[in-house]
Chains A and B, each alone.
Chain A
Amino acid sequence: MSETPATERAADLRAVTVGIGDGAAGFGHERGGGVDLATQDMVLNIGPQHPATHGVLRLRLTLDGERIVTCEPIVGYMHRGVEKLFEVRDYRQIIVLANRHDWLSAFGNELGVVMAVERMLGMEVPVRAIWIRTLLAELNRVLNHLMFMGSYPIELGAITPIFYAFRERETIQQVMEEVSGGRMHYMFNRVGGLKEDLPAGWLGRTSAAVAAVRSRLPQIEDLVFGNEIFRARTVGVGVLSPELIHAYGVSGPIARASGVDLDLRRDDPYLAYQELLDDGVLRIVTRSAGDCFARFDVLLEQVKVSLDVADACLTRLHELPQGPVNVRLPKILKAPEGSTYAWTENPLGINGYYLVSRGEKTPWRLKLRTASFNNISVLPQLLEGRVVADMVAILGSMFFVVGDVDK
């Protein structure tokens, strides 16, 4: 199907997928209202300020009645030019900006920058720092996924789950705040390790928080996953094929929900993931359906895996011998001339940093590859031929952060 031109395919799609969801059974569709009725297409702007979108993503829809003929995502309302700002900031100042483009996974964003600089410098990170970084990255993943597990049902009209999701988020945010001082922008990574050591007793409190979240996770599951209305809105809706995923560079939980089994934690291991993989703690979650429900399901399963990984990290941190969490840096840190590409499995997908240095204390260029941008570029393909009500379900299930799209 991927060889046929887009227009033909759209026509195909319309012919085939007339009934989306059971509710649309018998809902015949003919372009332009048929021969008897002359109608006109309508242009509908969803966003930049709209309750159905997150942040300021704007979708320009061309509608034929209730059905979407074309969809054009218009991005850039939140463009802050971080890549240019990176060029006039030293590596510690870059972390401040880098953890802000995807505000739901600040720790993951910081990691990419420091890993790129450490690789350029050939710097060895102390072993305790590696395990603490892994632990915090996984807790950050849990926080991110819980956010979407709460906000997605809201878009489908279920108000309650977000309160459950936020209760769990609060539990984890408390330990994150205790260690880093921040609730969203942790600023806890430094080139060569971490800002400072853990507070005494923090490991125990984190174990308790992880256990509490794990014990209450079934509540969200019971609330949402079996719900007939939720299933009717999501099962079989917005099926994303592996071909489209490869064509658009979609990554992360969305790609894995369609059976594209790529996870950098396994495929290009960084931090302590190789060891966790060998121990069998880190499992890569995949689904084959590729619909909205599968994407949501991957999130829940990943939360469970991340909590297990966090527990494994905590056990390891208890066993590790006394040691530092950072290395002493020179007063002026300069990356040697050259370039490197560091990529990490951020909660929303592949996050890449291409760092080019000319031996200055600022990078010459730091290119950012963010997951959300690629994840929403596939929207036109996905929305063609759907009804507006499904657009909300599909858009919400693409799990993106507008700051991550616009940078």
Chain B
Amino acid sequence: MTRLGSGLLAGLKVTWRNLVRRSVTQHYPDVKPELPPRSRGVIALQEENCTVCMLCARECPAWCIHIDSHKEVTPAEVEGGRDRSHNMLDRFAIDFSLCMYCSICIEVCPFDALHWSPEFEYAEHDITDLVHEKDRLREWMWTVPPPPALDPAGEEPKEIKAAEIAAAKRAAPPPPVDPAGPQ
């Protein structure tokens, strides 16, 4: 070791250098953090998309999703038709005191009814208030950001491919009518 105290001085130099610079601390309640769109803050429910398939409730590793539903029957529209039955959502609740924020429910939802929102300011004084019923979950939908664009080196999403094929089909002229067709 060199001179005694030189190590302390080197440390003080770092302190001094940072003392005269702008601080990096954000004053949270006054300055809101900028969160990326993938941020897992709260789960929002697009109620209209939910078909009560129960996949989210079954796949949840913490079993924190509660779903109640009943069946409604629409009578047949035409004579001799069949009656159609639909699942009607009565209750959709997520208990955020149990939720582990793993995003499995969002991943398994086949109809994109569940989404992440980066909102995080929903702390409560009473733990039971952390159960968000479907009205509250629906309200979170307004805070869901659009997903970020993906890296150009990534694989093209299969939706684009499907849309392109559909567009090509629509744009292409209808197949020529066979001259020797039915007469």
Contact = CB atoms under 8 A, between A and B. Distances in A.
B111 interface: no
Contacts of B154: 128, 197-198, 322-325
A196 B148 CA distance: 11
Interface string A304-343: 0000000000000100111111000000000000000000
A96 B40 contact: no
A229 B11 CA distance: 12
Contacts of B5: 228
B39 A177 contact: yes
Interface in B6-60: 6-8, 10-11, 13-15, 17-18, 24, 35-36, 38-40, 59
Given A97-B61, A128-B153, A219 B102 contact: no
A178 B61 CA distance: 24
B4 interface: yes
B151 interface: yes
A181 interface: yes
A226 B39 contact: no
B179 interface: no
A187 interface: yes
Interface in A27-52: none
Interface stretch (A4-12, A133-141, A199-207, A286-294): A199-207
Contact of B101 (A178, A185, A320): A185
Classify the interface of chain B: helix, strand, loop or mixed. loop
A182 B101 contact: yes
B24 A167 contact: yes
Q: What interface size band does chain B fall in? A: 35 or more
Nearest to B61: A93
A195 interface: yes
Interface residues of A, number: 47
Nearest to A95: B102
Interface in B108-161: 116, 148-155
Given A92-B104, A187-B103, A227-B8, A199 B38 contact: yes
Interface string A42-69: 0000000000000000000000000000
B7 A231 contact: yes
B151 A203 contact: yes
B155 A324 contact: yes
Interface of B: 1, 4-8, 10-11, 13-15, 17-18, 24, 35-36, 38-40, 59, 61, 100-104, 107, 116, 148-155
24 contacts: A89-B61, A93-B61, A167-B24, A170-B24, A177-B36, A181-B40, A195-B103, A196-B150, A199-B36, A199-B151, A201-B151, A203-B151, A219-B14, A219-B17, A222-B11, A226-B8, A227-B11, A228-B4, A228-B5, A228-B7, A317-B153, A321-B153, A322-B154, A323-B153
